[in-house]
Amino acid sequence: MNCAAVIPCFNEEKTIAGLVSSVLEQLPYVIVVDDGSTDGTAQNAKNAGAVVIRHGRNRGKGATLQTGLSHLLTLGFDWAVTLDGDGQHHPAHLPAFRRCAEETGASLVIGNRMHDARARDAAMPWLRWQVNRWMSKKLSQRAGCYLPDTQSGFRLLHLQTWASLPLSAQHFEVESEMLMAFLAAKHSVEFVPIQVIASGRKSRIHPFTDTIRWWRWWLKRKTAVMPDLQISRPPCETVAQEI
């Protein structure tokens, strides 16, 4: 695969260097989009070998992904991997994503954390776990197919396909918007099981504020015309490497 990585970051100076180094062992190019950090995130990422793009102010995860993915398109990459900068996503899972895309023809492959009960205890507080389950259930009902983890930021996506979709979310609702847009356009989506690594810091997701943003996104798009969406085969069952 002609593939590179995009890592959106906000104040991740403790984890970003190690993450970049690990990704570069498997991919030739890593972009870190520093979303207005006030710590050493940008310098640490650059020292580890990443290309760093900085936002002058914090603009949100959706805007940050837009910046990074658009840059990869201009460089001629066909595929992109997205990982969170807090280190909860392990690059050791990347071969499973690639195998799934190659075997199924999927344009979007998403890491599924919800199969692993340890994720709830190790890296996902009880409230986040429940909100994630609830959002995934709502989106599954809307899509007409089972979507086990709609909020995971660990993804492999086809860049030209992504660029053809009408995406506008600026914050954490981007995960839901992207998934539903791929499905609405009849592009194949698959899931691979992953394990979550505890990040050791408080989540950037604000349960109240970001849930309200998600609700606004949901209500705005609830009346949009969605085709009969069905995943044509069971989600990819590739087993991710144990950490």
pLDDT recorded at residue 141: 86
pLDDT at 222: 58
The answer to whether residue 237 is domain-embedded is: no
Query: Which residues have C-beta within 8 Å of that of residue 206, sequence separation ≥ 6?
Result: none
Q: How many domains does the chain have?
A: 1
CATH at residue 80: 3.90.550.10
In a domain, 230, yes or no: no
Tokens read off for 62: 């959706």
Asked whether residue 232 is domain-assigned, the answer is no
Question: What's the residue count for the chain?
Answer: 243
Predicted confidence pLDDT, tens digits, the chain (243 residues): 899 999 999 999 999 999 999 999 999 999 999 999 999 999 999 999 999 999 999 999 999 999 999 999 999 999 999 999 999 899 999 999 999 999 999 999 999 988 765 555 556 667 777 777 888 888 888 888 899 999 899 999 999 999 999 887 777 788 989 999 999 999 999 999 998 876 555 655 555 676 676 667 666 665 454 444 444 444 555 444 433
Reference 132, options 105, 145, 114, 107; nearest CA is 114
The answer to whether position 57 is within a domain reads yes
Q: Give the span between the Cα atoms of 199 and 16, in whole angstroms.
A: 11
Boundaries of domain holding 146: 3-221
The whole-angstrom separation of Cα 113 and Cα 193 is 6
pTM: 0.83
Query: Measured in whole angstroms, how far is the alpha carbon of residue 78 from the centre of its chain?
Result: 17
Structure tokens at 128: 């986040």
* Residue linked to tokens 């919800």: 114
**Token couple for 61:** 């995860």
Contact 30/57 with Cβ under 8 angstroms? no
**Do 33 and 67 form a contact (C-beta atoms < 8 A)?**
yes
Residue 142 lies in a domain: yes
